[in-house]
Every structure is written in structure tokens, then in C-alpha cells.
Amino acid sequence: MNQFKLVDGVSAKNLEGIHECYEIVDKESFFSFAINISAEKIDALLREFCAQLSEPCFFILEVPTNEKYESQLRQSPTDPFHSDVYYLDGISTSDLILILNTYGDLLIHDGMVKFGFASHSSHDEIFVGKYKITNIFTQNKAFYQSMLHKLHITQEESIKTLWNNFTYDTPGECVSINLNGRSIYTVVDELSEKGLYLAKRIPE
């Protein structure tokens, strides 16, 4: 079995029992996949997912709120930090692939960003969350089972994620990175010129 690899912006002291696998939860109106995926395969999964989405599509980007605004929102040290959620709506599958071509490595390897791709029509969505634990939301369970099996990611009844291994002595850490002079805030600035907009600010 190949060693499970974390992205550059994520570290964890205890990887015991962490391997590539996924589980499916039936939410009655849709299925929710939770996926452990090794760093080197994230790009391939995203590209295959995006290429087959029904248009029009959209891009979701979630980044930590700027410190200037955070200082206004947090009245005490126990108050939660916040994230800004952005959307780029009404785009094509080619636009999604262009986002991956331009920013994919940064989005995948930055530990602080969360992001996803989805269809306005089918409502199928993939979302790469904290510690790069990835979710797929769909009504077409069999199709995405096949996609994951092609990547040699197997289904299990219940998966173990990094969250299960975190303790005081074995913490995890997420950090931002810069890649080729770009940060996740560069992505926000550049895609804002293409129509990316701030939809909401949410507590962590």
C-alpha cells in the first residue's frame, strides 16, 4: 500500500490508520461521500469530476477573513475566527479546468483554503475541506463510486480521518503557502476580475 501523503500546507503528528478510502452516507434526497485522498491524487479527482459536470457550473472558494475585519468581528479571545465564502457563478467546465490549470497546485497545497466545484443544474458538488478531507454530494451514487474506484480509492463502511487522530500530544496544523508568487488572496483578487464575489462571512 502506498504511503498516504499530506499536502504541503498540512501537517499531522499521527497518521496511524490513515489511508485512501471513502464512505457514503444516504441523506435521503442525496448521497454524501467523505473521502480520504492522498495529496498526489487530488488534482486527478478534481479534473475528472469537473470535466463531466453539467453546465452551467460554479466555483466555491473559502478563505480566512482578512485580519482587518476579523479584529472587528472578534470581541474576545474566545470568539470564533471567520471565513469569507466566494462564488464564481454561471461558468463552463472549461472554465473550471482553467481554474485548476492556473491555481490548482496552490488550492490543493494551501492548508488554509477550502474550495469546490459544482453544477447549477444537477447540483453535483465536490468540496475540498479542512485537512483536504474531500466530499462529493450527488444523487448519482454509482457514477462517483466508479470514478473513485478508477483512482483505486476503496469504499469502507466508516472511514478514519485525520480528525480522529488529533489529541493534545498529536495535533494537526494548517498553514498558508505561497507558490510562484501567488497566495490564496491572489486567487481572490484575480478571479474577482472574472466575476468572483463575496457571498457570506461565516464563523469557523
Quote the pLDDT of residue 203: 77
Quote the pLDDT of residue 73: 63
Amino acid at 7: V
Q: Which residues contact 44 (CB under 8 A, 6 or more apart)?
A: 151
Q: Note the pLDDT tens digit of each residue in 27-37.
A: 999 999 999 99
Sign of the torsion angle spanned by Cα atoms 72, 183, 90, 46: negative
Stretches in the chain below the pLDDT threshold 50? 1
Q: Which residues contact 53 (CB under 8 A, 6 or more apart)?
A: 93, 96, 117, 118, 119, 122, 124
Which pTM does this prediction carry? Answer: 0.93
Q: Which residues pair with 85 in a beta bridge?
A: 62, 200
Quote the pLDDT of residue 1: 47
